[in-house]
Amino acid sequence: MCPRSVSEETPVPTAPAAGNARVELPVPPVLCPFPFSYDEEAARRADEGILAWAGSLGLPPERRTELAGHRIGTFAAMTHPDAADDDHLSLAARNMYAMFVADDHYCDEGPAGASSTLCPARLGRTLTALEGPRLSDSAAAEELVGPDLATRALREVARHMTRLGTPAQAGRLRHETSATFLAMAGESSWRLARHLPGPREYLAHRQYNGALSCLALIDVTGGYELPARDWENPAVRSLTLTASLLIILVNDLYSVAKESADIGSQSLPTLLSAHHGWPLDRSMRITGELHDHLMCHYLRREAQLTADTANTADVSPEQPRYLRGLRNWMRGSLQWHASTGRHHRRAGRPTPATDSQGPAHDRLRTALRLRPPPGLCPHCRDGRSAP
């Protein structure tokens, strides 16, 4: 399937308008066969901490009620059940909030007033903020960073990171956050060019756009350090990228409703509908199936890595803990997406709805029998290798 340009003949479908009545958009359950638990009291404290911190950064009082409904601290607690303490959990929550602010204020055209034209330039300013205490205290840096909520938040995260993490871990966070912002700038270019990416192009791009900067904090939040040889291990990196894509596919399923009124917002369900002419509910189901195919691929790769390193002295004791952290992130993120006010019960927009069994299913044997190439929409095969 070749990429196309967006035109009047190829509109990008959106979720049905909600109006004044509550409209639900069904979301299929997805395969996520990992245990789930979190500390509710730690989550409550983290939620309160994020509200206070956002206020100190300059978030207007009228927007704090909306932020409270997002439960960013709970998101951190659900994805980091092994957090060393409240301070480490706060770092994860603050990083999540900073990334959401950057996405909302720079990339999503809608109520936040973002502009695709200025998005790459604004994202470029974040590079100064990411340096934290190394460069951000100069007058020139303050001129770039100070007036903007997103850059102020990113600078404070960088400072927090230097206090809790090692220099190598701080470098990983800068690298992965910069890569995420580069991917965001790429998505902005699609909007400017009115380019409708094909599903293959979208999936290859999307694994970098969203979760990577958060996954870079798995070990820091847990109070340990994954050695560089494990972080850079190609097999571990492959699992990290696949986990990132799985997390983002869940985000695509739950954010379709929220972003239905945003200009130029793209997700895999809307792209599938545009390319195949499907109704949105079918594209939602196919996106869920693709998630399950990729989860099976992830589980096979994870099992292979475990088998290959079972009797290897070069593997650190931190690597299995990091792999558990990836599992925690995928499961916790799914639970958060299924309940957060960021995606649910938004005024004037439909709300995602799961069926009675909840957001996850455990039909592993059924999913394992389906093996399309990883990263490839099974309905878009064209003879080329998958990304």
pLDDT at 386 (0 to 100): 34
With respect to CATH, is domain 22-368 assigned 3.90.1300.10? no
353 DSSP β-pair partners = 26
Name the DSSP letter for residue 13.
Answer: P
With a threshold of 0.75, does the pTM exceed it?
yes
Which residues fall within 8 angstroms of residue 30, CB to CB, at 6 or more apart?
249, 250, 253, 288, 291, 292, 295, 334, 359, 360, 361
Instruction: Say how many C-beta atoms besides its own lie within 10 A of residue 13's C-beta.
Output: 18
Which residues fall within 8 angstroms of residue 106, CB to CB, at 6 or more apart?
114, 118, 119, 122, 123, 150, 184
Q: What is the pLDDT along the chain (387 residues), one digit of tens a residue?
A: 333 444 333 444 444 544 444 577 889 999 999 999 999 999 999 999 999 999 999 998 988 998 999 999 999 999 999 999 999 999 999 999 999 998 887 776 444 445 667 777 778 788 888 886 665 556 666 666 767 889 999 999 999 999 999 999 999 999 999 999 998 888 888 888 888 888 888 998 899 988 999 999 999 999 999 999 999 999 999 999 999 999 999 999 998 876 654 444 678 999 999 888 999 999 999 999 999 999 999 999 999 999 998 877 778 999 999 999 999 999 999 999 999 878 766 555 566 777 777 888 877 765 555 555 444 555 555 333 333
- Judge whether 86 and 180 are in contact, CB under 8 Å: no
pLDDT at 334 (0 to 100): 97
Write the CA distances from 301 to 136, 174, 192, 202, integer angstroms: 41, 27, 37, 23
Rg (CA), the chain: 20
- Judge whether 48 and 65 are in contact, CB under 8 Å: no
pLDDT at 132 (0 to 100): 67
pLDDT at 105 (0 to 100): 76
**Residue-by-residue DSSP string for 224-272:** ----HHHHT-HHHHHHHHHHHHHHHHHHHHHHHHHGGGSBT---HHHHH
pLDDT at 283 (0 to 100): 92
For residue 20, count CB atoms less than 10 angstroms from its CB and return exposed for 0-12, middle for 13-18, buried for 19 or more: exposed
pLDDT at 377 (0 to 100): 57
| 3-state SS assignment for residue 331 | helix
43: which 2 tokens? 């989550």
Under the phi-then-psi rule, with left for phi > 0, alpha for psi from -120 to 50, and beta for the rest, what region is 266?
A: beta
- Distance from C-alpha of 1 to C-alpha of 376, rounded to nearest angstrom: 11
Helices (H), the chain: 40-57, 61-70, 72-79, 86-102, 119-130, 139-145, 149-164, 167-192, 199-206, 212-215, 218-222, 228-231, 234-258, 268-276, 280-308, 318-337, 364-368
pLDDT at 255 (0 to 100): 87
Say how many residues make up the chain: 387
Instruction: Say how many C-beta atoms besides its own lie within 10 A of residue 118's C-beta.
Output: 11
Backbone angles phi, psi at 148, to 5 degrees: -115, 130
Sketch the domain layout of the chain as residue ranges: 22-368
Instruction: Say how many C-beta atoms besides its own lie within 10 A of residue 367's C-beta.
Output: 21
- Judge whether 25 and 351 are in contact, CB under 8 Å: yes
Q: Which helix (H) or strand (E) holds 135?
A: none
pLDDT at 34 (0 to 100): 96
- Distance from C-alpha of 63 to C-alpha of 306, rounded to nearest angstrom: 46
In this structure, are strands 24-26 and 30-31 parallel, antiparallel, or unpaired?
A: unpaired
Instruction: Say how many C-beta atoms besides its own lie within 10 A of residue 88's C-beta.
Output: 21
361 DSSP β-pair partners = 31
Cα first-last separation, the chain: 14
